[in-house]
Chains A and B, each alone.
Chain A
Amino acid sequence: MNSYKFDWNVIDKYFPELIRGLGITLEISLVGMAIALVFGLLLAMGRLSSMRFIRTVANAITQLFRSIPLFVMLFWVYYGLSLKFHILFTEFQAGALALGITGGAYMAEVFRGGLMAVDPGQREAAMAMGISRGTTFSHVIFPQALRVVIPPSVNVYVGLLKGATIVSVIGVSDMIYVAQYVSLQTFTPFELYSVAGIIFVALTVSISGFAWMLERRLGRGRSD
């Protein structure tokens, strides 16, 4: 016998709270992405460094952080790091940091691919013109690499956005968290999780579609 009582009115009632939760998911994923961009670029530059030691270290860090599940990373940062080094992270900070570390390892790969896609002749031409190494990177190589980097970066972001849903396990009050505590009072987990899931799929599918479009657009002008 099934005694579950469907009550879709609960959605009407708690919709604003679910959306507020979604806002927190977006916020934490964007902060995580910002960390990932900086960390990933540093790692990619390390992996392309002329110094062997730096290359080895950067490669090892990338491999390590790519292989550790985000879920483990989250617990490692929030419980492990904070206890060991007496850093009091808020749930939000720990979540964003874990997303940033994992995302950074993925972005390192993306940036490396983008930087390597720039014709070496560009660097040589800049050098022949007497431009410094730093300026060559920031004004010649990087802007060209950016075009190759943007579409896969959006895909990494979608990955982080999906990953960001797990932060509710450490108590960040995102959409799933809202659905969880509302369903404890209303006993309508099916309705709440269904709506949360559908909102999420709509969001990720549209962003992925946008990435696909960008890829076609940015790829258009390339002759190679």
Chain B
Amino acid sequence: MLPELFFYYNATVITVLSALVVTRSNPVHSIMLMLVMFFHIAALYLFLNAEFLAAIQIIVYAGAILVLFLFVVLLLNLKKELVTQIFIVRWPLGLVAMAGLLVLMFAGIKSFTLGPTGDFTIEKIAGETHTAAIGTVLFTEYIVPFEVASLVLLIAIIGAIVLAKKQIKT
């Protein structure tokens, strides 16, 4: 009973907060609501025995990406957003597209059945700790994608500096 209650609480909060995030007119309010949402998603990851991902979710999403968003919002001074039209003129069309996608996905999920299970059981995670178990797979089977990810981050660092720096008049 308690696990279901925990899941339903988290699911309700995540859905309501994500609906609020896309409809607020003040970007700072939206980002703060998103912070609460990320903490609830991290709680769901803990519930699914993914401690490493819960920590990464809080460190990277709440600690880095949202702070970056907040910096940009404060840098741009968006006073106009509070008084202007926040949606495009044809926003009901977006609602129709969303409803169609939702119905399609729910119809697909209903007929979903689970395939054969692997060997990443709870006992194995408890035996060698979650971070070690994930790290073993990441650094053996997925070492090439891991190195490519480091390259992607390097390009992101250089690209962000090049794009955001002031143009020097020659």
Q: Do A and B come from one complex?
A: no
Q: Which residues of A contact B (CB under 8 A)?
A: none
Q: Which residues of B contact A (CB under 8 A)?
A: none
